[in-house]
A = this chain, B = another copy of it.
Protein backbone atom coordinates (compact mmCIF):
# COMPACT_ATOMS: atom_id res chain seq x y z
CA UNK A 1 0.00 0.00 0.00
CA UNK A 2 1.48 3.26 -1.07
CA UNK A 3 0.69 6.16 1.22
CA UNK A 4 1.93 9.68 1.68
CA UNK A 5 2.85 8.81 5.25
CA UNK A 6 4.56 5.58 4.35
CA UNK A 7 8.02 7.06 4.18
CA UNK A 8 9.43 9.33 6.85
CA UNK A 9 10.78 12.39 5.12
CA UNK A 10 13.04 14.94 6.68
CA UNK A 11 13.42 18.60 5.93
CA UNK A 12 17.07 18.98 5.13
CA UNK A 13 17.21 22.74 5.23
CA UNK A 14 20.81 23.86 5.19
CA UNK A 15 21.92 24.22 8.77
CA UNK A 16 23.47 27.63 8.27
CA UNK A 17 21.12 30.27 9.53
CA UNK A 18 22.75 33.29 11.09
CA UNK A 19 21.60 36.61 12.47
CA UNK A 20 24.34 39.20 12.55
CA UNK A 21 23.80 41.62 15.40
CA UNK A 22 25.49 44.95 15.87
CA UNK A 23 27.57 43.41 18.60
CA UNK A 24 29.41 41.43 16.01
CA UNK A 25 32.09 43.52 14.44
CA UNK A 26 30.89 44.75 11.10
CA UNK A 27 34.35 44.25 9.68
CA UNK A 28 33.54 40.55 9.97
CA UNK A 29 30.57 40.69 7.65
CA UNK A 30 32.65 39.60 4.65
CA UNK A 31 33.60 36.49 6.59
CA UNK A 32 29.98 35.76 7.48
CA UNK A 33 29.07 36.09 3.84
CA UNK A 34 31.90 33.74 2.89
CA UNK A 35 30.64 31.24 5.43
CA UNK A 36 27.13 31.54 4.07
CA UNK A 37 28.37 30.96 0.52
CA UNK A 38 30.45 27.98 1.67
CA UNK A 39 27.42 26.38 3.27
CA UNK A 40 25.28 27.12 0.25
CA UNK A 41 27.54 25.29 -2.19
CA UNK A 42 28.91 22.52 0.02
CA UNK A 43 27.50 19.06 0.50
CA UNK A 44 23.95 19.11 -0.74
CA UNK A 45 23.69 22.63 -2.17
CA UNK A 46 20.85 24.84 -1.06
CA UNK A 47 19.75 28.20 0.26
CA UNK A 48 21.19 29.69 3.41
CA UNK A 49 19.88 32.56 5.45
CA UNK A 50 22.02 35.46 6.64
CA UNK A 51 20.17 38.23 8.38
CA UNK A 52 21.77 41.66 8.35
CA UNK A 53 19.45 43.94 10.30
CA UNK A 54 18.93 47.58 9.51
CA UNK A 55 21.34 48.98 12.06
CA UNK A 56 24.12 46.78 10.72
CA UNK A 57 23.43 47.69 7.11
CA UNK A 58 23.25 51.38 7.97
CA UNK A 59 26.51 51.40 9.90
CA UNK A 60 29.78 52.26 8.23
CA UNK A 61 33.48 51.70 8.65
CA UNK A 62 36.71 52.66 6.99
CA UNK A 63 37.67 50.58 3.97
CA UNK A 64 41.04 50.00 5.61
CA UNK A 65 39.42 48.33 8.57
CA UNK A 66 37.88 45.77 6.32
CA UNK A 67 39.58 42.63 5.17
CA UNK A 68 38.15 40.29 2.63
CA UNK A 69 38.40 36.56 2.96
CA UNK A 70 39.62 34.54 0.04
CA UNK A 71 37.13 33.61 -2.62
CA UNK A 72 35.20 30.54 -1.48
CA UNK A 73 36.39 27.76 -3.71
CA UNK A 74 34.12 25.10 -5.11
CA UNK A 75 33.95 22.37 -2.50
CA UNK A 76 36.09 19.29 -3.06
CA UNK A 77 34.22 16.51 -4.78
CA UNK A 78 34.43 13.22 -2.90
CA UNK A 79 34.66 10.02 -4.90
CA UNK A 80 33.79 6.50 -3.85
CA UNK A 81 36.11 3.59 -3.31
CA UNK A 82 36.67 1.23 -6.25
CA UNK A 83 34.88 -1.67 -4.56
CA UNK A 84 31.66 0.31 -4.33
CA UNK A 85 31.88 1.14 -8.03
CA UNK A 86 32.28 -2.53 -8.83
CA UNK A 87 29.37 -3.44 -6.60
CA UNK A 88 27.15 -0.86 -8.23
CA UNK A 89 28.04 -2.00 -11.73
CA UNK A 90 27.46 -5.62 -10.77
CA UNK A 91 24.04 -4.77 -9.43
CA UNK A 92 23.13 -2.89 -12.58
CA UNK A 93 24.29 -5.75 -14.78
CA UNK A 94 22.21 -8.23 -12.82
CA UNK A 95 19.01 -6.32 -13.44
CA UNK A 96 16.64 -7.39 -16.14
CA UNK A 97 14.72 -4.13 -16.39
CA UNK A 98 16.98 -1.37 -15.13
CA UNK A 99 16.07 2.31 -15.25
CA UNK A 100 18.29 5.33 -14.58
CA UNK A 101 16.61 8.28 -12.85
CA UNK A 102 18.61 11.45 -13.40
CA UNK A 103 18.07 14.20 -10.84
CA UNK A 104 19.11 17.75 -10.20
CA UNK A 105 22.03 16.49 -8.15
CA UNK A 106 23.61 15.44 -11.44
CA UNK A 107 22.84 18.88 -12.88
CA UNK A 108 24.31 20.88 -9.99
CA UNK A 109 27.41 18.69 -9.97
CA UNK A 110 27.98 19.47 -13.65
CA UNK A 111 27.94 15.75 -14.40
CA UNK A 112 26.30 15.95 -17.82
CA UNK A 113 29.26 14.66 -19.84
CA UNK A 114 29.77 11.70 -17.52
CA UNK A 115 26.08 10.84 -17.29
CA UNK A 116 25.60 11.02 -21.05
CA UNK A 117 28.57 8.72 -21.59
CA UNK A 118 27.23 6.29 -19.03
CA UNK A 119 23.81 6.21 -20.67
CA UNK A 120 25.31 5.75 -24.10
CA UNK A 121 27.81 3.11 -23.06
CA UNK A 122 25.19 1.04 -21.29
CA UNK A 123 22.19 1.97 -23.46
CA UNK A 124 20.20 2.14 -20.23
CA UNK A 125 16.75 3.72 -20.45
CA UNK A 126 16.49 6.85 -18.32
CA UNK A 127 13.95 9.20 -16.83
CA UNK A 128 14.89 12.75 -15.82
CA UNK A 129 13.44 14.37 -12.71
CA UNK A 130 11.82 17.78 -13.34
CA UNK A 131 15.00 19.71 -12.64
CA UNK A 132 17.24 16.90 -13.90
CA UNK A 133 15.95 17.50 -17.42
CA UNK A 134 18.67 18.33 -19.93
CA UNK A 135 21.53 16.50 -18.21
CA UNK A 136 20.92 14.13 -21.08
CA UNK A 137 18.93 15.94 -23.80
CA UNK A 138 15.22 15.30 -23.63
CA UNK A 139 15.03 14.11 -27.20
CA UNK A 140 17.47 11.30 -26.57
CA UNK A 141 16.16 7.94 -27.84
CA UNK A 142 16.79 6.33 -24.44
CA UNK A 143 14.64 8.85 -22.58
CA UNK A 144 11.45 7.19 -21.36
CA UNK A 145 9.84 10.40 -20.10
CA UNK A 146 6.89 9.77 -22.37
CA UNK A 147 6.44 6.34 -20.77
CA UNK A 148 7.06 7.50 -17.23
CA UNK A 149 4.37 5.53 -15.40
CA UNK A 150 5.09 2.31 -17.27
CA UNK A 151 8.82 2.63 -16.71
CA UNK A 152 8.48 3.24 -12.99
CA UNK A 153 6.01 0.44 -12.53
CA UNK A 154 8.02 -2.17 -14.36
CA UNK A 155 11.64 -1.40 -13.58
CA UNK A 156 13.16 -4.11 -11.40
CA UNK A 157 16.05 -1.81 -10.47
CA UNK A 158 16.43 1.95 -10.49
CA UNK A 159 19.75 3.74 -10.54
CA UNK A 160 19.13 7.14 -8.96
CA UNK A 161 21.79 9.58 -10.14
CA UNK A 162 21.45 12.59 -7.86
CA UNK A 163 17.70 12.03 -7.68
CA UNK A 164 15.61 11.29 -4.62
CA UNK A 165 12.75 8.85 -4.22
CA UNK A 166 10.64 11.52 -2.54
CA UNK A 167 6.97 12.37 -3.15
CA UNK A 168 7.73 13.48 -6.70
CA UNK A 169 8.99 9.94 -7.30
CA UNK A 170 6.17 8.41 -5.24
CA UNK A 171 8.69 7.36 -2.54
CA UNK A 172 9.72 4.40 -4.68
CA UNK A 173 6.76 2.48 -3.29
CA UNK A 174 3.94 0.37 -4.71
CA UNK A 175 1.66 0.75 -6.56
CA UNK A 176 3.81 3.17 -8.54
CA UNK A 177 6.84 0.87 -8.25
CA UNK A 178 7.33 -2.85 -7.99
CA UNK A 179 7.15 -4.40 -4.54
CA UNK A 180 10.57 -6.06 -5.12
CA UNK A 181 12.24 -2.92 -6.45
CA UNK A 182 16.04 -2.84 -6.16
CA UNK A 183 17.91 0.45 -5.84
CA UNK A 184 21.41 1.62 -6.71
CA UNK A 185 21.64 5.09 -5.23
CA UNK A 186 24.12 7.88 -5.96
CA UNK A 187 23.78 10.86 -3.64
CA UNK A 188 26.11 13.48 -2.23
CA UNK A 189 24.48 13.20 1.20
CA UNK A 190 25.05 10.01 3.15
CA UNK A 191 21.87 10.69 5.12
CA UNK A 192 19.82 10.08 1.99
CA UNK A 193 21.05 6.55 1.37
CA UNK A 194 18.14 4.19 1.83
CA UNK A 195 15.91 6.95 3.16
CA UNK A 196 12.80 5.58 1.52
CA UNK A 197 13.73 2.26 -0.07
CA UNK A 198 16.87 0.35 0.99
CA UNK A 199 19.78 0.79 -1.37
CA UNK A 200 21.75 -2.31 -2.18
CA UNK A 201 24.74 -0.48 -3.64
CA UNK A 202 25.09 3.03 -2.28
CA UNK A 203 27.42 5.56 -3.87
CA UNK A 204 27.98 8.59 -1.63
CA UNK A 205 29.85 11.29 -3.46
CA UNK A 206 29.87 14.01 -6.06
CA UNK A 207 27.85 12.96 -9.10
CA UNK A 208 30.44 14.19 -11.58
CA UNK A 209 33.34 12.40 -9.95
CA UNK A 210 31.45 9.22 -9.22
CA UNK A 211 29.95 8.99 -12.69
CA UNK A 212 33.46 9.41 -14.08
CA UNK A 213 34.46 6.44 -11.93
CA UNK A 214 31.49 4.51 -13.29
CA UNK A 215 32.45 5.31 -16.87
CA UNK A 216 36.06 4.30 -16.25
CA UNK A 217 34.88 1.01 -14.83
CA UNK A 218 32.67 0.47 -17.88
CA UNK A 219 35.61 1.15 -20.13
CA UNK A 220 37.55 -1.58 -18.43
CA UNK A 221 34.72 -4.06 -18.70
CA UNK A 222 32.16 -2.81 -21.17
CA UNK A 223 28.56 -3.85 -20.91
CA UNK A 224 25.44 -2.85 -22.79
CA UNK A 225 21.71 -3.46 -22.95
CA UNK A 226 20.94 -4.63 -26.44
CA UNK A 227 18.49 -2.76 -28.61
CA UNK A 228 16.37 -5.88 -28.96
CA UNK A 229 16.22 -6.45 -25.23
CA UNK A 230 12.55 -7.02 -24.32
CA UNK A 231 12.65 -4.26 -21.70
CA UNK A 232 13.82 -1.65 -24.17
CA UNK A 233 11.34 -2.95 -26.74
CA UNK A 234 8.48 -2.69 -24.32
CA UNK A 235 9.46 0.81 -23.30
CA UNK A 236 9.77 1.92 -26.89
CA UNK A 237 6.36 0.53 -27.64
CA UNK A 238 4.79 2.31 -24.68
CA UNK A 239 6.57 5.54 -25.61
CA UNK A 240 5.29 5.39 -29.14
CA UNK A 241 1.76 4.79 -27.94
CA UNK A 242 1.86 7.65 -25.50
CA UNK A 243 3.43 10.02 -27.99
CA UNK A 244 0.89 9.09 -30.59
CA UNK A 245 -1.92 9.76 -28.14
CA UNK A 246 -0.49 13.21 -27.52
CA UNK A 247 -0.26 14.21 -31.15
CA UNK A 248 -3.91 15.28 -31.51
CA UNK A 249 -3.53 17.58 -28.52
CA UNK A 250 -0.28 19.01 -29.79
CA UNK A 251 -1.77 19.68 -33.17
CA UNK A 252 -5.25 20.69 -32.10
CA UNK A 253 -6.64 23.82 -33.72
CA UNK A 254 -9.33 24.20 -31.12
CA UNK A 255 -9.99 27.66 -29.77
CA UNK A 256 -9.84 28.33 -26.87
CA UNK A 257 -6.63 26.36 -26.87
CA UNK A 258 -5.78 23.32 -24.78
CA UNK A 259 -2.43 23.20 -22.91
CA UNK A 260 -0.50 21.20 -25.49
CA UNK A 261 -0.81 23.21 -28.67
CA UNK A 262 0.57 26.46 -27.27
CA UNK A 263 3.44 24.55 -25.65
CA UNK A 264 4.15 23.02 -29.03
CA UNK A 265 4.35 26.53 -30.51
CA UNK A 266 6.74 27.63 -27.80
CA UNK A 267 8.84 24.52 -28.24
CA UNK A 268 9.25 25.20 -31.93
CA UNK A 269 10.43 28.78 -31.47
CA UNK A 270 12.65 28.41 -28.42
CA UNK A 271 16.40 28.16 -29.00
CA UNK A 272 17.97 25.01 -27.59
CA UNK A 273 19.93 26.88 -24.94
CA UNK A 274 16.95 28.82 -23.61
CA UNK A 275 16.34 28.98 -19.88
CA UNK A 276 12.83 27.89 -18.99
CA UNK A 277 11.36 29.08 -15.68
CA UNK A 278 7.98 27.63 -14.88
CA UNK A 279 5.49 27.46 -12.04
CA UNK A 280 1.85 26.59 -11.54
CA UNK A 281 0.30 23.13 -11.36
CA UNK A 282 -0.89 22.05 -14.82
CA UNK A 283 1.25 24.62 -16.60
CA UNK A 284 4.38 23.35 -14.88
CA UNK A 285 3.50 19.67 -15.20
CA UNK A 286 2.43 19.63 -18.83
CA UNK A 287 5.24 21.90 -19.96
CA UNK A 288 7.63 19.40 -18.45
CA UNK A 289 6.32 16.86 -20.92
CA UNK A 290 6.23 19.07 -23.99
CA UNK A 291 9.12 21.50 -23.65
CA UNK A 292 12.40 19.77 -24.22
CA UNK A 293 15.57 20.70 -22.40
CA UNK A 294 18.72 20.22 -24.41
CA UNK A 295 21.16 21.37 -21.75
CA UNK A 296 21.35 20.90 -18.00
CA UNK A 297 20.52 23.64 -15.50
CA UNK A 298 18.22 25.35 -17.99
CA UNK A 299 14.96 24.58 -16.24
CA UNK A 300 14.00 26.26 -12.96
CA UNK A 301 10.69 25.37 -11.39
CA UNK A 302 8.88 25.27 -8.09
CA UNK A 303 11.13 22.44 -6.92
CA UNK A 304 10.70 19.78 -4.31
CA UNK A 305 8.37 21.73 -2.08
CA UNK A 306 6.22 23.18 -4.86
CA UNK A 307 6.73 26.74 -3.66
CA UNK A 308 4.62 29.26 -5.58
CA UNK A 309 5.72 32.81 -6.33
CA UNK A 310 9.35 31.98 -7.13
CA UNK A 311 9.05 32.40 -10.89
CA UNK A 312 9.69 36.14 -11.32
CA UNK A 313 12.74 36.08 -9.06
CA UNK A 314 14.13 33.04 -10.82
CA UNK A 315 13.60 34.60 -14.26
CA UNK A 316 15.16 37.93 -13.30
CA UNK A 317 18.19 36.25 -11.75
CA UNK A 318 18.58 33.90 -14.71
CA UNK A 319 18.55 36.76 -17.22
CA UNK A 320 20.96 38.90 -15.18
CA UNK A 321 23.36 35.96 -14.93
CA UNK A 322 22.90 34.98 -18.59
CA UNK A 323 22.48 38.20 -20.57
CA UNK A 324 22.95 36.42 -23.89
CA UNK A 325 20.46 33.63 -23.31
CA UNK A 326 16.76 33.60 -24.07
CA UNK A 327 14.78 33.42 -20.80
CA UNK A 328 11.09 32.61 -20.65
CA UNK A 329 8.90 32.61 -17.55
CA UNK A 330 5.99 30.29 -18.15
CA UNK A 331 3.35 30.70 -15.49
CA UNK A 332 -0.13 29.57 -14.68
CA UNK A 333 -2.44 32.48 -13.88
CA UNK A 334 -2.73 31.44 -10.23
CA UNK A 335 1.06 31.22 -9.89
CA UNK A 336 1.49 34.63 -11.51
CA UNK A 337 -0.83 36.11 -8.89
CA UNK A 338 1.70 35.53 -6.11
CA UNK A 339 4.42 37.88 -7.27
CA UNK A 340 3.45 39.08 -10.74
CA UNK A 341 4.03 42.78 -10.09
CA UNK A 342 7.76 41.98 -10.02
CA UNK A 343 7.70 42.24 -13.81
CA UNK A 344 8.33 45.93 -13.06
CA UNK A 345 11.87 45.02 -11.94
CA UNK A 346 12.56 43.37 -15.27
CA UNK A 347 11.32 46.38 -17.21
CA UNK A 348 13.30 48.74 -15.02
CA UNK A 349 16.50 46.82 -15.60
CA UNK A 350 15.74 46.28 -19.33
CA UNK A 351 15.80 42.50 -19.07
CA UNK A 352 14.35 40.95 -22.26
CA UNK A 353 12.46 38.20 -20.44
CA UNK A 354 9.35 36.79 -22.08
CA UNK A 355 6.61 36.07 -19.57
CA UNK A 356 3.93 33.68 -20.82
CA UNK A 357 0.82 33.40 -18.67
CA UNK A 358 -1.41 30.40 -19.33
CA UNK A 359 -4.72 31.88 -18.38
CA UNK A 360 -7.56 29.47 -17.68
CA UNK A 361 -9.52 31.71 -15.31
CA UNK A 362 -8.49 30.19 -12.02
CA UNK A 363 -6.77 27.50 -10.05
CA UNK A 364 -7.22 24.35 -12.09
CA UNK A 365 -9.57 26.22 -14.40
CA UNK A 366 -12.29 28.72 -13.52
CA UNK A 367 -15.64 29.78 -14.99
CA UNK A 368 -16.14 31.39 -18.37
CA UNK A 369 -18.21 34.21 -16.95
CA UNK A 370 -18.95 35.71 -13.54
CA UNK A 371 -21.97 34.03 -11.99
CA UNK A 372 -24.61 36.30 -10.53
CA UNK A 373 -25.31 34.43 -7.31
CA UNK A 374 -23.30 33.83 -4.18
CA UNK A 375 -21.82 30.44 -4.95
CA UNK A 376 -18.61 31.60 -6.53
CA UNK A 377 -16.14 28.72 -6.37
CA UNK A 378 -13.04 29.47 -4.30
CA UNK A 379 -10.64 28.39 -7.03
CA UNK A 380 -12.12 30.73 -9.64
CA UNK A 381 -10.60 33.97 -10.88
CA UNK A 382 -12.32 36.77 -12.72
CA UNK A 383 -12.73 35.43 -16.27
CA UNK A 384 -10.65 36.65 -19.17
CA UNK A 385 -8.14 38.66 -17.19
CA UNK A 386 -5.61 40.40 -19.38
CA UNK A 387 -2.21 39.93 -17.78
CA UNK A 388 -0.63 41.62 -20.79
CA UNK A 389 -2.03 44.88 -19.43
CA UNK A 390 -0.14 44.33 -16.20
CA UNK A 391 3.04 44.33 -18.23
CA UNK A 392 1.95 47.38 -20.20
CA UNK A 393 1.29 49.18 -16.95
CA UNK A 394 5.05 49.25 -16.43
CA UNK A 395 6.05 50.06 -19.99
CA UNK A 396 6.81 46.52 -21.12
CA UNK A 397 5.18 45.01 -24.16
CA UNK A 398 1.98 43.04 -23.77
CA UNK A 399 0.43 40.55 -26.16
CA UNK A 400 -2.80 38.65 -26.03
CA UNK A 401 -3.09 35.35 -27.86
CA UNK A 402 -6.23 33.31 -28.33
CA UNK A 403 -5.13 31.18 -31.27
CA UNK A 404 -1.98 29.23 -32.13
CA UNK A 405 -1.27 31.73 -34.85
CA UNK A 406 -1.55 34.69 -32.50
CA UNK A 407 0.71 32.99 -30.02
CA UNK A 408 3.33 32.23 -32.65
CA UNK A 409 3.25 35.84 -33.84
CA UNK A 410 3.45 37.17 -30.29
CA UNK A 411 6.39 34.95 -29.43
CA UNK A 412 8.23 35.98 -32.54
CA UNK A 413 7.55 39.66 -31.84
CA UNK A 414 8.63 39.26 -28.24
CA UNK A 415 11.89 37.53 -29.14
CA UNK A 416 12.60 40.12 -31.80
CA UNK A 417 11.82 43.10 -29.60
CA UNK A 418 14.61 42.82 -27.08
CA UNK A 419 12.20 44.12 -24.48
CA UNK A 420 10.43 42.76 -21.43
CA UNK A 421 7.21 41.26 -22.65
CA UNK A 422 4.23 39.28 -21.43
CA UNK A 423 1.95 37.11 -23.54
CA UNK A 424 -1.46 36.40 -22.09
CA UNK A 425 -2.52 33.04 -23.52
CA UNK A 426 -6.17 32.09 -23.28
CA UNK A 427 -6.47 28.44 -22.29
CA UNK A 428 -9.72 26.57 -22.32
CA UNK A 429 -10.79 26.25 -18.66
CA UNK A 430 -12.14 22.83 -19.52
CA UNK A 431 -8.81 21.68 -20.87
CA UNK A 432 -7.42 18.68 -19.07
CA UNK A 433 -4.21 16.83 -19.37
CA UNK A 434 -4.05 13.22 -20.45
CA UNK A 435 -5.99 10.98 -18.10
CA UNK A 436 -3.71 9.83 -15.31
CA UNK A 437 -3.51 6.27 -14.10
CA UNK A 438 -2.82 7.35 -10.54
CA UNK A 439 -3.62 10.33 -8.41
CA UNK A 440 -0.55 12.34 -7.67
CA UNK A 441 0.08 11.30 -4.10
CA UNK A 442 -0.78 7.68 -4.67
CA UNK A 443 -3.15 6.98 -1.86
CA UNK A 444 -4.37 3.84 -3.61
Chain A interface (Cβ < 8 Å from any Cβ of B): 5-8, 10-13, 15-16, 18, 21-25, 28, 31-32, 35, 38-39, 42-43, 55, 69-70, 72-73, 75-81, 84, 189-191, 193-195, 198, 202-205, 209, 336-337, 340-341, 344, 347-350, 370, 376, 380-382, 384-390, 392-395
A15–B12 contact, CB under 8 A?
Answer: yes
Q: Assuming A43-B43, A81-B209, is B390 touching A395 (CB within 8 A)?
A: no
How far, in angstroms, from A38 to B190 measured CA to CA in the complex? 8
Q: Assuming A195-B35, A393-B389, is B348 touching A370 (CB within 8 A)?
A: yes
A198–B78 contact, CB under 8 A?
Answer: no
Enumerate chain B residues within 8 angstroms of A193, measured Cβ to Cβ.
38, 42, 75-76
How far, in angstroms, from A214 to B7 measured CA to CA in the complex? 40
User: For the complex formed by this chain, how many copies does it contain in all?
Assistant: 4
Residue in B6, B77, B394 whose beta carbon sits within 8 Å of that of A81 in the complex: B77
26 contacts between A and B (CB under 8 A): A6-B28, A8-B31, A8-B32, A10-B15, A23-B55, A42-B189, A42-B190, A42-B191, A43-B191, A69-B198, A75-B190, A75-B193, A75-B202, A75-B204, A76-B84, A76-B203, A78-B204, A79-B79, A337-B341, A340-B341, A344-B381, A344-B382, A347-B382, A348-B370, A387-B393, A389-B390
A385–B393 contact, CB under 8 A?
Answer: yes
Q: Interface on chain A toward B: helix, strand, loop, or mixed SS? A: loop
Enumerate chain B residues within 8 angstroms of A386, measured Cβ to Cβ.
392-394
Enumerate chain B residues within 8 angstroms of A42, measured Cβ to Cβ.
189-191, 193
Enumerate chain B residues within 8 angstroms of A78, measured Cβ to Cβ.
78-80, 190, 204-205
Chain B CB within 10 A, most for which of A18, A191, A337, A386 = A191
B348–A382 contact, CB under 8 A?
Answer: yes
9 closest A-B pairs by beta carbon, nearest first, are: A78-B78, A42-B190, A22-B23, A389-B393, A75-B190, A76-B204, A23-B23, A348-B382, A42-B191
Residue in B202, B348, B385 whose beta carbon sits within 8 Å of that of A381 in the complex: B348
B32–A5 contact, CB under 8 A?
Answer: no
Chain B CB within 10 A, most for which of A42, A73, A382 = A382
